[in-house]
Amino acid sequence: MNRALPFLFALTAAATAPAGDWPEFRGPDAQGHAPADETGLPVEWTETKNVVWAVETPPGWSSPVVVGDRIYLTGASEPEDGQTTLSALCLSTEDGAIVWETPLFKKSTAESKHKKNSWASPTPIFARLADGSAEDGALFVHFGPNATARLKADDGTVVWKRTDIDYPPVHGGGPSPALVPNATGGPAGGPILFIPCDGGEDPFVIALDALSGETRWRKDRPDVGATKTFSFATPLVIDPDGDGPAEQQILSPATNQIVAYDPADGEELWAVPYEGFSVTPRPVTGHGKVFLSTSFMRPTVLAIDLAEAAAAGPPGADGPVDAAEDAVAWDVSRGGPNTPSPLLIGDLLYFVSDNGVASCVESETGAVVWTERLGGNFSASPIYADGRIYWLNEEGGCTVSAVGEEYRELAVNELPGRTLASPAVSGGAIYLRTDAKLYKLATR
């Protein structure tokens, strides 16, 4: 089996961050892979074994972002007088001590959200941009329709913030934004922050100028006649042929469709239809395809041929054109995830259903290689690190398995608390967030 990383030039914040960092949701490639030099990671741990430190953190399900000797999170304070304070935090990798904490917004807790959600679920993005932030770094934090901000990563100073991007999210904020470091062309060049706003009505996407916070462009989603328009999928930025910024695409799953946008001006390049709403997993790419799951009500894993999708062209007034259906290379209708993102390693695609059944399929054909019940419920996305897959369930349990055409369990680990945030890997350590604490795990 070919285990080479088969990605289609996914463009992420890692392009602007030092090697070895974990700068955004799902890591430096945005697809769940730790760098190849991250070795010696722990396979087993308990509350006392291979725990370097554990510190209390405010509630929130944003995943840790790790850059150098700093960790970045968002959190929501315990409700007081019907309000919660939404904050950004920076911690030290050495001991977990708080380096800085910046309160950003207050919001009413009377608004509804899903019982599994938090007021601080989207993951921050760290980047070094060509505007004077190259030395200190820029940190982008997002709280769904409540607020979005850019901070100085070294001290938490607010550079800009927006509180006017409003929409009805139905279950609370969910998707993390995506940073396009160089959105060339269009009415203005330079980096953009792309935000999907798939609420209960009139869903849209918006691109902010990453330097100023001003709106670069905004587009309504193509109308697909859906009664439930809300979704929560984090978009993925790719360069399909490796031809540079002018050929970039933002792949953004939504209810009943995935749409590819031109970062420069928001032009819809293509769209492929499917049946599904409340779509949450972040897609992955490789071998000329994009792989995604359609979430509710019956999650189906799809492989979409990017060349076929591009040939079908942009959606019409009524959504994706009929020819776009031919872009679906294969589908797997059993065991798909509603929430966790898939993981592509070499020629094999791995995923886990929300009720704990892990699957491995051939990326070329969708043929099922194996399935295995891991136990527990799942929301966090699996990661690939040090030649192993780490599967984190919602109850503090983490199954570690080998990669390959046969399932082989290496360890099952337990920590107290709920675990819905995805782990991060940096500097020979795994960072794991529970509902009450952040853990640094390393072989000791």
| pLDDT tens-digit map of 149-159 | 999 999 999 99
State yes or no: pLDDT of 116 exceeds 90.
no
Position 50: which residue type?
N
Least confident stretch, 3-17, 27-41, 295-309, 360-374: 3-17
Report yes or no: 330 and 365 within 8 Å, Cβ to Cβ. Answer: yes
Greatest CA separation for the chain: 59
Which residue ranges make up each domain of the chain?
A: 13-441
Tell me phi and psi for residue 103, to 5 degrees.
-65, 135
CATH 2.130.10.10 fits 13-441, yes or no: yes
Instruction: Provide the H-helix boundaries in 138-260.
Output: none
State yes or no: pLDDT of 302 exceeds 90.
yes
Between CA 325 and CA 86 the distance in angstroms is: 42
Between CA 77 and CA 226 the distance in angstroms is: 35
Between CA 26 and CA 33 the distance in angstroms is: 7
What does the pLDDT look like over 324-356, one tens digit per residue? 999 999 999 999 999 999 999 999 999 999 999
Tell me the average pLDDT of the chain. 91
pLDDT at residue 109, rounded to an integer = 67
What does the pLDDT look like over 405-437, one tens digit per residue? 999 999 999 999 999 999 999 999 999 999 999
pLDDT at residue 18, rounded to an integer = 58
State yes or no: pLDDT of 3 exceeds 50.
no
For residue 4, name the pLDDT band (cuts at 50, 70, 90). Answer: very low
Q: How far is CA 429 from the centre of its chain?
A: 20
What does the pLDDT look like over 221-273, one tens digit per residue? 998 888 899 899 999 999 988 777 778 999 999 999 999 999 999 999 999 99
State yes or no: pLDDT of 7 exceeds 60.
no
Site of tokens 């509902």 = 435
What does the pLDDT look like over 231-244, one tens digit per residue? 999 999 999 887 77
Token pair of 220 as six digits:
């309504």
What does the pLDDT look like over 8-20, one tens digit per residue? 556 565 555 556 8
